[in-house]
Structure 1
Amino acid sequence: MRRGINIGNALDAPEEGAWGVYIKDEYFSIIREAGFDTVRIPIRWSAHADSNPPYNIDEKFFSRVDHVVNEALKQNLTTIINIHHYGEIMQDPMGQKDRFIALWRQISEHYKNYPENLYFELLNEPHGALTSDLWNKFLAEAINIIRETNPTRKIIVGPAGWNSIPKLNELVIPRNDENIIVTFHFYTPFEFTHQGAEWVNPSPPVGREWLGTREEQEQIRNELDMAVQWSLKHGNIPLFLGEFGAYSKADMNSRVRWTYFVAREAEARNIPWCYWEFCSGFGAYDPIKEEWIPELLNALIPKTKMYYVSAETEYGNISGSGWYYEGTYATIQLNETEIGFLVLNVFDHFEGLKPKDRVVDERTVEVYVDGARRIVAVWRKDYSRLILLIIFIIAISVAIILLHKKHDHH
């Protein structure tokens, strides 16, 4: 595992397709050809299993999962299946414990003869009433059950508190099992990655940017370092960044910067990652156009000597943001230079230009690409129309008063 992607909002929806994603067979070759080596397939088994003992999993659902897993393995992708969106266990852990164990007994038995690049992930984001203490007991039992039929299969397990890094300190992993990988999820800063997210209450306001300032970078580095420190303290246990991504309500320039930075920082620490997610609200692939969103794909899997140029403006529209090869020029253009009626916003100049950049006309520049570049259109207020109007109104008023006075004298 090095670079992966989650096919979210599909088999983890109440029914596949209910959240707009139905997994097509060709998705796996598309993912492979783009340069990914891993796919994580979130699955809501709890919606397809009996609520009463022996908690049988629906055979039709099992065969659908088989089909999807086989398509992924055909592409030689490391394939992770998990238990996802098991809401009942978060609310009533003790009442659901036997069912959780029974699900893993069936899944592990069912896939015991599958190739070793099929990985099992015990449970996505334990939280709520499923505290660390309870989760440590549950995971130990589930691992024991899986080991009866899958003695050496890779098992992925993460901490409570939504698989958050700070909760790693409360996670207890069975000793002497070298086929365990510890996962964590990363959405820091949450106010940026989840801005406008409809399922979050209250939803963080839209408009938060991520510019990659020193403070912003430090925040991410420090949190990732916490995970590395924990791993070193626990015999260098392998880590896995199972989810990270920024929702589509964030501006694309910020999403690109954040995604690129988190992916490279994980790689610098030898942590494999899986982007959240393929083709839905965080998606890097457009299922309607049937093509990758190049800004995000290049942020995840960068091409050599390619850099991101971001063009930003507070008013009007600006074109030219994107990935460019070193030594080329990026053309950045404003669609208009004056906006407003009485108070005008007037384009003043581009900020962030360097000596090698070329000014084409009053609203167009060619930016020389020698690294990542950020060009910002700077505007100023022009009150001249408003002032003229005020002077005009005053003049008319004075004229009317004078006329009245003249009239009164007569």
Structure 2
Amino acid sequence: MSFRALNVLFFPLFILVLTQCSILKSDENTSTGISSPLDPFEQNAELGRGINLGNIFEAPEEGSWGLYMQEEYFKLISSAGFESVRIPVRWSAHTNDSAPFKIDTEFLNRVEWAVDEALKNDLMVIINVHHYDEIFQDPAGEHAKFIAIWEQLSEHFQNKPSGLLFELLNEPHDNLTANLWNQLLPETLEIVRANNPYRTVVIGAAEWGGIPGLMKLQIPEDDNLIITVHYYEPFQFTHQGAEWVPGSDAWLGTTWDGTDSEVDEIKNHFDQIYTWAAQRNVPVNIGEFGAYRRADNSSRVRWTTQVVHYAITHDMSFHYWEFASGFGIYNPNTGQWNVELTNALINTE
């Protein structure tokens, strides 16, 4: 048989094989950005010390609470020594109220830009569904929209690397009870897993995500979850003078002095969280904690130091609330850091 005949015979076969390889490669590139299972404990350790980029995307509109997401924030946060950011997002305000509940493309791309900036600056990043007030009042009526939001997020971000984590819902409360949340959790997780089988997912408890709700949380069957807990105790100290908390002006002047009883309270709370998690073999992230700016700075530093200490000694990652607003450690108008508070977050062991 001549070379020409061989060429005629095998060239179509070559094209077929090449086409099949291209299809396989395309499928591999589009199915998921993570090619193998992850260890959530390792993921949690890599989250390490983090901070919330709050009051930006979870505002009704970006800028309406005085802050816009800035490229320099990610560089500043990384240079300061933080290892991750949590980006709260009010997706419900940018999603149509009727089926198919489409998320606004411009807003979706804006959040993706922030995710990419975090990753580019060697920061792991968590995005969540934040301030979905409607579902807290009407869980049944908002169910389809909530599921549709996660269908779109799961698909849109599926090719991102393992440094991106999803947090399903911030602080379920009111009519979204612990019982209802325990039912919604596995359903939502199944939606995420369709496009992100290996991505680490963060889940919190109902009743505002604190310790009482944690005791009622039922963890879905899944090998790649991190449990997040929010910690603002004692509340009359951490939220003194907070404009959104009725009666909080009466708490102004409340100090946190680091007495034995005050420190023991924090220790006991963290021991309780640790014991609960150890019994279930799940890692823990302290997703929010902080003391509002109207408390005296020395008290804020003392309290933050102790919270960080017990988080670190219990192998918990954390995200301080927050970067540049009422609880913040950075003043975007002056470019100045709250050095003492930042040191408490970065250098406390």
Q: What TM-score results when the alignment is normalised by the length of structure 1?
A: 0.73
Aligned to 2:69: 23
CA drift of 1:267 comes to: 0.3
* Cα separation, 1, equivalents of 2:171 and 2:80: 28
Residue 129 (structure 2) pairs with residue 83 (structure 1): yes
* 1:37 and 2:102 are equivalent in the alignment: no
Whole-Å Cα distance in 2 between the matches of residues 202 and 122 of structure 1?
31
Q: Deviations over 1:50-105 (max 9, x none)?
A: 01111000001011111111111101111000000000000001111111111000
Q: Distance in 2 between matches of 1:76 and 1:138?
A: 33
CA, structure 1 residues 113+186, in 2 after alignment: closer, same or farther (shift >3 Å)?
A: same
Alignment partners' CA distance in 1, 2:290 and 2:325: 12
Q: Does 2:229 correspond to 1:193?
A: no
The corresponding residue for 2:286 is: 241
Instruction: Give the share of equivalent positions with the same residue, in percent.
Output: 52
Matched, 1:178 2:230: no
1:303 and 1:101 map into 2 onto residues whose CA distance is: 40
**Corresponding residue of 1:139:** 185
> Displacement of 1:303 after TM fit?
7.6
- 1:255 corresponds in structure 2 to 300
> Shift in Å at residue 291 of structure 1?
2.5
Q: State how far apart, in whole Å, the 2-side matches of 1:128 and 1:264 are.
A: 32
Contact 2:52 2:321 (8 Å CA) reproduced: yes
- Runs of 4+ that moved beyond 4 A: none
Provide Cα deviations, 1:273-293, integer angstroms capped at 9, x if missing partner.
100000000000111111211
Aligned residues: 302
Return the alpha-carbon distance in structure 2 between the equivalents of residues 67 and 141 of structure 1.
Answer: 28
- C-alpha separation in 1, matches of 2:136 and 2:348: 42
Match of 1:387 in 2: none
Structure 2 residue runs of 5 or longer lacking an equivalent are 1-46
Match of 1:112 in 2: 158
Counterpart selection for 1:283 from 321, 328, 332:
328
Q: Describe the SS at the equivalent of 1:226.
A: helix
CA offsets per residue over residues 172-208 of structure 1, 9 Å max, x none?
A: 1112x22100000000000000000010122252000
TM-score by length of 2: 0.85
Per the alignment, in what secondary structure is the counterpart of residue 215 of structure 2? helix
CA distance in 2, matches of 1:256, 1:53: 48
Q: Which residue of 2 aligns with 1:226?
A: 272
Structure 2 SS opposite 1:95: helix
Greater RCO, CA 8 A, separation 6+: 2
1:297-332 alpha-carbon deviations (Å, 9 max, x no partner)? 11111289xxxxxxxxxxxxxxxxxxxxxxxxxxxx
Q: 1:161 aligns with which of 186, 207, 218?
A: 207
User: CA offsets per residue over residues 342-387 of structure 1, 9 Å max, x none?
Assistant: xxxxxxxxxxxxxxxxxxxxxxxxxxxxxxxxxxxxxxxxxxxxxx
Secondary structure at 1:227 match in 2 = helix
Residue pairs, 1:333-372, within 5 angstroms: none
